[in-house]
């Protein structure tokens, strides 16, 4: 099958046969193919399945079929761009390899850069996970454990084994993973250490844009805010997430009257303009640290990613203004 193209050089791989390992077992065949056929649009992957060009143990399967250890998957030859989108993906991957702050046999922790989505979609051709797969084409398994907003930087967990993904997802559901963020908020926070438990409801707008509001009928949400440093007109906060709702920190902070600096959706325009003058070019929200008992060893595990130079520059400017 040939993907539609326009005067772009194409390359066509041969038929591949892949035997499913125990760590890859349990995932749906469509998700498995999306990981293996890098650069191929989702619509084409599903077309391959509908046409029966993908075979499992020599038979046709539907997109929702869950792979089992020992299954033999036939992956047909698919033409993909050798330039264009692939070139953009390679450029977007940039220095991701240098932003890995921890790695072992089952887990990778990345200091995600601000401005890069964790995955493609909603008009984006690629994200962090697609870029990682592109720079590690021989990696048998790479899957996101959780997500960060596109403009949020910091610690992002990527599983290198299916068993690791299952274990960490169970720990997330049980509240056994501690995630701490650094956020600069507007005004002088005078509530001390405070747990914010405001239910949140996610709305979908035209074009796929998400908007979250406090609502009694929303999902239970809990964030623990703790002030770290006070500046003129702003406070540096540490926020621990006890649930993981969309835009949770941003909406909780805004609902308290202390929106996050640089937040164009829930923030305070005048405060954002003041922070822009101090050098802020993005939202001041950084996933600083993450901790849990490591599934492979059972030992306590914690990893952190320091603030980037762009955010430290803003704090230095606030410190200088404080005198």
Does the annotation mark 138 as catalytic? no
Token digits of residue 35: 């990981």
Q: Is 280 exposed, middle or buried (0-12, 13-18, 19+ CB in 10 A)?
A: buried
Compute the Cα dihedral for 34, 245, 264, 318 and give only its sign.
negative
The enclosing H or E element of 107 equals strand 107-112
Q: What angle do CA 119, 205, 263 make, to 5 degrees?
A: 65
Q: Are 142 and 162 in contact (CB under 8 A)?
A: no
- C-alpha 235/C-alpha 272 separation (Å) is 14
- C-alpha 81/C-alpha 129 separation (Å) is 19
Interhelix angle 128-135/85-93, rounded to 10 degrees, is 90
- 320 forms bridges with which residues in the sheet? none
* Helix (H/G/I), strand (E/B), else coil: 323: coil
Catalytic residue among 23, 111, 149, 263: 149
Q: What positions carry a catalytic annotation?
A: 149
């Amino acid at each position: 099958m040939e993907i539609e193209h326009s005067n772009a050089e194409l390359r066509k791989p041969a038929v591949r046969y892949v035997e499913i390992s125990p760590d890859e077992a349990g995932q749906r065949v469509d998700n498995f193919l999306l990981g293996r056929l890098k650069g191929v649009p989702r619509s084409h992957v599903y077309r391959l399945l509908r046409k029966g060009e993908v075979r499992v143990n020599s038979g046709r399967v539907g997109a929702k079929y869950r792979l089992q250890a020992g299954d033999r998957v036939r992956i047909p030859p698919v033409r993909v761009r050798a330039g264009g989108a692939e070139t953009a993906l390679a450029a977007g991957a940039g220095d991701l390899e240098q932003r890995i702050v921890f790695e072992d046999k089952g887990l990778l922790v990345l200091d995600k850069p601000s401005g890069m989505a964790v995955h493609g979609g909603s008009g984006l051709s690629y994200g962090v996970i697609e870029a990682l797969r592109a720079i590690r084409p021989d990696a048998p398994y790479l899957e996101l454990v959780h997500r960060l907003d596109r403009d949020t930087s910091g610690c992002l967990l990527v599983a290198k084994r299916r068993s690791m993904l299952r274990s960490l997802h169970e720990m997330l559901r049980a509240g056994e993973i501690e995630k701490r963020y650094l956020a600069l908020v507007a005004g002088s926070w005078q509530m001390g250490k405070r747990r914010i438990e405001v239910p949140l409801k996610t709305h979908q707008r035209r074009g796929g844009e998400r908007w979250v509001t406090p609502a009694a009928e929303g999902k239970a949400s809990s964030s623990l805010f703790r002030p770290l440093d006070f500046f003129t007109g702003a406070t540096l906060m540490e926020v621990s997430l006890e649930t993981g709702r969309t835009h949770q920190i941003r909406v909780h902070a805004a609902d308290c009257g202390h929106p996050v600096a640089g937040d164009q959706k829930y923030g305070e325009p005048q405060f954002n303009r003041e922070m822009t003058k101090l050098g802020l070019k993005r939202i001041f929200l950084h996933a600083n640290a993450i901790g849990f008992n490591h599934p492979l060893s059972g030992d306590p595990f914690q990893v952190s990613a320091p603030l980037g130079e762009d955010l430290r520059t803003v704090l230095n400017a606030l410190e200088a203004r404080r005198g």
